Amino acid sequence: MIFEGDYRRDGAVCVRQAFSDEHLRWAMEAIEANLADLSPLAKRASSQDDGAFVEDFCNWGRIPEMEQFIRESPAARIAATLTESNTVRLYHDHVLVKEPGTRQHTRWHQDLPYYNVDGYQNVSMWFPVDPVDRSAAIRFIAGTHRGPWYMPRTFLDDRAAWFPEGSLAEIPDFDADPERWPVIGWALEPGDAVFFNMLTVHGSGGVCGTTRRRVLSIRFLGDDMVHAPRSWPTSPPFPGLVEELDDGCPLDHPLFPVLWTRSGAEAKSRN
């Protein structure tokens, strides 16, 4: 069941049992293949004495299980429903693994200011292949998908490595005023996934106990998304794209394949 109204209101929604055991297996195999062979974009997002929070990006082209999940699971169709789009493209994949005992939390942030795209009809899927309690799962500040954009900073040392200092508002102290900034989140079982707008503020806690927190995240572009070239390397970077796609153009490029299009009949019944 997809609660589209909740997504429109809050900028994030949990889809229970979105994926079958087979999809779960593809995602798990994709994550393990990725961990076994990290790309040059991979990074460790926790300090050396704190478990391991490992991230990697943009690996679908070399990991068949990742591409299979992206193309054959219902994820892109769910993305189309939530973004109310006729066409859904892949933006990129992102693997986020917190090994047991990793205390490092993920600070509150929005994703769009780190990216080279702009628009409203976008959605990211966050799919853990392990059971995750609410504190270690992704959480959101409800309603922040309506803006404003907040300053993106490096996670470990707080630097302004993207937009120049002072050019965007700083992230408020959301935790100091929970009445004003309601936090939403869910404990998740394998098969459940969370979908969120790229502007919705989100973060997560550390991982206690002995369970791993392995997550496959896929980022999708809907109808109004356009290229927004930056004068700095974005996260993830798309080097050379600026020579091939104009500012403000749809992301019509082999890096961003079309995954789902509304059939003629569906489009007709919608209009």
Ligand X SMILES: O=C(O)CCC(=O)C(=O)O
Q: Are 131 and 190 in contact (CB under 8 A)?
A: yes
Q: Least distance (Å) from ligand X to the CB of residue 225? A: 17
Name the residue nearer to ligand X (CB basis): 111 or 223: 111
153 binds ligand X (CB under 6 A): no
Work out the burial of residue 269: count CB atoms within 10 Å of its CB; fewer than 13 is exposed, 13-18 middle, 19 or more buried.
exposed
| CA 27 to each of CA 33, 72, 195: distance values in angstroms, whole numbers, following the listed order | 10, 11, 16
Looking at the Cβ atoms of 81 and 204, the one nearer to ligand X is: 204
Is the bond into 236 cis (omega within 30 degrees of 0)? yes
Q: If binding is defined by CB under 6 A, does position 104 make contact with ligand X?
A: no
Nearest CB to ligand X, comparing residues 80 and 216 = 216
Show contacts with ligand X in window 203-262 (CB under 6 A). Answer: 204, 215, 217
# of chain residues touching ligand X (CB under 6 A): 9
Decide if residue 96 touches ligand X (CB under 6 A): yes
Closest to ligand X by CB, 194 or 245: 194
Q: Which of 15, 138, 193, 201 binds ligand X (CB under 6 A)?
A: 138
Q: Is 102 in the site for ligand X (CB under 6 A)?
A: no
Distance (Å) of CA 37 to CA 29, 40, 45, 55, 56: 12, 10, 17, 12, 10
Cα 152 from Cα 129, distance rounded (Å): 28
Are the beta carbons of 199 and 110 closer than 8 angstroms? yes
Site for ligand X, rule CB under 6 A: 96, 106, 111, 126, 138, 202, 204, 215, 217
